[in-house]
Structure 1
């Protein structure tokens, strides 16, 4: 949105988004000179997901995200929700990235994946409306409840994460930022994968990136750090780190090391030792997730099966 409440990419401004789309569709004018992209086939608005700003009332601030604040909200039907807001002064390309999460999530329905309820894009600021998960983020949960968490519960959390990631794997979705801080704990202590801001859906199963800012180095697989190659296999590496966080009850990975030191040590073959009281079969899974060769790592489908067996053994 430009001056005088006009919508534009570059050049001519329009008073509403449909006019802007119609202009680019009929004239075949490039969206931006830099991208060279031309609008060939505008996709109709999916009414199921589009809400009006008036449909949601913002409540308390829950935290800050990459693009803006996250609030507790309430819909007209009294449903409690989480509302991610996008700062109004962000450049257009970042606003498009903000909506990427909603674009991905609206295709998914799984008990271990956070649910999208809708988006508000008719005016600024843009909102993404998600189900409200009452237990907060998994990392804080682990640290807060560490004295009360039993082995069976930790294995159940791990299985929940593997189930959610196995579902994403089946959909060719690469998360790219799997970590305890990006999982949420819902009712009945069900863990849900969240924070899809860096996620990509790729038909070939591999996503190459050259321009990722703020890469979570201690969670990221070597081939992704070295060559920008992201895949379900690189997500499996991150899952191994998530397991380590889980069984260490929220300790930061590679304790005492900087990001750079951890990266260099991993390249030399170093792998973290098992957290205190971690079962041997869980640690063996971690080590397989951290195989330097992506093709040697287990799939999430295999991990889900293995963790199901381990959970059954625990009384």
Structure 2
């Protein structure tokens, strides 16, 4: 069950406040942008403005989308807003979903605006501007840099061409395409759409992802990789790719009788169990929990498809992951069954302990031991600094042991990151959240991609077959998190990071003062070739070796400190800093 959780913050209480509350500020910003769009449409004489009730429809469009939409959309591209409004309207019809729109766009390198131009090149530039529009949401510095690089390469290539004076203007702008989708919002929709674009041969350069308040999506991708600026062939290619991906399966919930079979390499639970969605069981009610016996004390986190509560069950403190009944569909139920099936099989001190589940609709929930220490991610960012090396190694060894156990039982986690690692009251770390985990098929090869882009292995990003070594790559990113206390690729969007990992071999920058053995381990975990990455049994041994060395150094340090203190040395009043 891929439930993206975020901590409930002060928004709920402040939204109830008076003038100047964040909720009112957001509403005011949307009204301002909406008014500017409406004024521009009136200025150009757009026919939509004359329709009765159009102003209210436009305001409703902005109201159902997040404030970020109003902040990001180009004010001088009012017709783009109408396109988004139309797509969201068409997506209401089940037979249409998903709806999409394609157009050619151009990215202007920042320095190209300052270049001197001849009358000929100026005319060509004007022609280019008329032919290709800017993206609806502008472009990031990364896209501008890409266009600038393209411009420079084109200029260098033209230096050897006798006709480069007439061609230079044509190379001034890098044409791309903007593909906008709208359909019902659902788990892993982003990864499905990115897979669709990859199948057509497109490279995602930028993405703007929005969810409406009534359960729809508006997702805008800026892509390159299509040979020409025309859009008819690209539109046709996307339509064909959608048909191959079984359009109805991801555009609307399917009746039970029409649920497509899940590929064996993706969803086989064990040797005895078929891929069809059926609630697994070791026997009658061996893990089924009576919902009435659960007590919900407080919400810990919430998300689009489920909430996480701290509660009690038969007097025991527990964590309860509760699916929102209004968001249930066949896909979400399938993932819920998969998570229950995996969690009931595992028992290890470094894996969060499954207690039971409620499987009778509408009260679908998974109950596990309550981890009072919260997530490793929260712990790191509360510290506002990297962990001290001894504790860092304890945490890393706990994670590695838990992952080694899962892999020994042929379970691939597929979403390993600091947010999915929990701590108990004794700071023991346990692997959690098996919403997208899978039991590895007998072939050892998995073909469905999932996970979170910043932690995802390159073979998974590219939708190639992969195995348990994908978790090893993600562990390398987690280890970097522990060493730095930072979010990986924080200056990039998730999709930009994914593109960099695959196309440019991008990896997080390792600080210079890191233990050399840990630096070497990071490089091994991040190998592009999965076969060159170590198993978790090897990783655990390596970490334990480093931990032994660090503890020996600490012992020596403590001995020297005690000796200095005993002899009343000048430095005895100062506590020596902990080895990092």
TM-score (norm 1): 0.82
**CA pair 189-33 structure 1, distance change in 2 beyond 3 A:** same
Contact (CA 8 Å) 2:376, 2:421: kept in 1 or not?
yes
Aligned match of 2:324 in 87, 92, 116?
87
Highest Rg: 1 or 2? 2
CA distance in 1, matches of 2:278, 2:381: 50
**1:229 paired to 2:465:** yes
Partner of 1:193: 431
Quote how far apart the aligned CAs of 1:66 are.
5.8
| Alignment partner of 2:400 out of 162, 182, 187 | 162
Q: 1:5 maps to which residue? A: none
1:189 is paired with a residue whose SS is coil
1:148-297 map, 5 Å: 149-202=387-440, 203-209=442-448, 212=450, 215-249=451-485, 251-266=486-501, 267-275=503-511, 277-297=513-533
Separation in 1 of the partners of 2:280 and 2:360?
Answer: 17
Structure number with higher helix proportion: 2
Unaligned runs of 5+ in 1: 1-29
Point out where structure 2 has 5 or more consecutive residues left out of the alignment. 1-254, 262-274, 552-580
Among residues 130, 134, 137, which one is paired with 2:375 in the alignment? 137
Q: CA deviation at 1:31?
A: 4.5
More RCO (CA 8 Å, sep 6+): 1
Alignment of 1:61-140 (within 5 A): 61-65=299-303, 67-76=305-314, 78-89=315-326, 90-140=328-378
CA contact (8 A) 2:401 2:536 kept: yes
Alpha-carbon distance in structure 1 between the residues aligned to 2:322 and 2:461: 30
The 3-state SS of whatever aligns with 2:308 is strand
In 2, the alpha carbon distance for the partners of 1:108 and 1:41 equals 17
TM-score norm. by structure 2 comes to 0.46
- Residue number in structure 2 paired with 1:33: 258
8 Å CA contact 2:386, 2:482 repeated in 1: no
- Residue by residue, what CA displacement relative to the aligned partner does 1:166-202 show, whole Å, maximum 9, x if unpaired? 0111011111100001110112111111110000001
CA distance in 2, matches of 1:68, 1:112: 24
3-state SS in 1 of match to 2:541: helix
CA contact (8 A) 1:31 1:38 kept: no
Q: CA RMSD in A?
A: 2.4
**How many aligned positions are there?**
281
In structure 2, do the counterparts of structure 1 residues 146 and 53 end up closer, same or farther at CA, with 3 Å as the change threshold? same
Task: Determine if the alignment matches structure 1 residue 312 to structure 2 residue 537.
Answer: no
In the other structure, the counterpart of 1:17 is: none
